[in-house]
Amino acid sequence: MDILLILIAAFGAGVLNTIAGGGTFLTFPALVLIGVPPVMANATSAVAVFPGYLGGALGFREELSKFDRKQMARLIIITLIGGLIGSLLLLVSSNKAFSIVVPFLLLAATLAFLFGDRIRTWAASKSRAVTPYGTVGLLLVSIYGGYFNGGLGIVLLALFAVWGMVDIHTMNGLKNGLSFALSAISVVVFAIGGLVAWSMALPMMAAAILGGYAGAPLARALPKSAVRALIAVVGFSMSTVFFWRLIG
């Protein structure tokens, strides 16, 4: 039953990551539920959903092909650097410290995405316009993603909204491409650090690949309002769960 639970969670995570992000909201709790310590559960979860990002990126290859190659290479390099920093931070984190910071990060990520348009408008009105495809914002988000993969897609979509991107499908394509690059460096760090429960991660990876590829056509079919609503439901629901765990 444990294996069945984490396989279902991994497939669902692959679908959710491709559509809106937040797939780790499924895999991380599932691993904790079956008894994996929080820090190891987070690392194993990040490894498990890693291939799903590749499936999602392939599903959005048409949208990704619209980006300039030099610009895309620059964004990937920034993402890799941030992901490396965040992954190294997780290696030195205790289970207690990790459990305390997670719910706050999730809530902030969800709010940032939902109010991304207003944040961008405010910044422009105050002559503090955010630079599209800027280095600092992406670096900080990548550090977050390396430390806690949960909600990475939501945070990236929030950043893209602040950058001024409006097409949700283009945003999803870029999100999956950068998430794959970030997760790749995290997998290497977590594997070297001995944080991955491979007996669980490997079957979850296979399920996440199927879910990631299956999610692309579904993401295109859903209207923008439905995708945003899905992000809000997932983000607020899992924030509540982690806050409950914190005070419980």
**What counts of helices (H) and strands (E) characterise the chain?**
12, 0
- Which residue range forms the structural domain that includes residue 175? 2-247
Please name which of 137, 95, 25 lies closest in space to residue 246, comparing C-alpha atoms.
95
Report the 10 Å Cβ neighbour count for 221: 9
Confidence (pLDDT) at 208 = 85
Integer angstrom CA distances of residue 201 from 20, 48, 106, 190 = 22, 5, 23, 12
DSSP letter assigned to residue 60: T
pTM for this predicted structure: 0.80
**C-alpha to C-alpha distance for 207 and 155, rounded to whole angstroms:** 24
CB 235 within 8 A of CB 36: no
Question: How many structural domains comprise the chain?
Answer: 1
Confidence (pLDDT) at 115 = 77
- Report the phi/psi class of residue 99: left, alpha or beta, with left for phi > 0 and alpha for psi in -120 to 50: alpha
Confidence (pLDDT) at 91 = 92
pLDDT tens-digit profile, the chain (248 residues)? 889 999 999 988 888 777 766 677 788 888 988 999 989 999 999 898 887 777 777 878 888 888 888 999 999 999 999 999 999 999 998 888 888 887 888 788 778 777 766 765 665 565 455 677 889 999 999 999 999 877 787 788 878 888 888 787 888 889 889 988 998 999 999 999 999 999 999 999 999 888 877 877 877 777 777 777 877 887 788 788 878 888 86
Confidence (pLDDT) at 127 = 45
**C-alpha to C-alpha distance for 46 and 148, rounded to whole angstroms:** 8
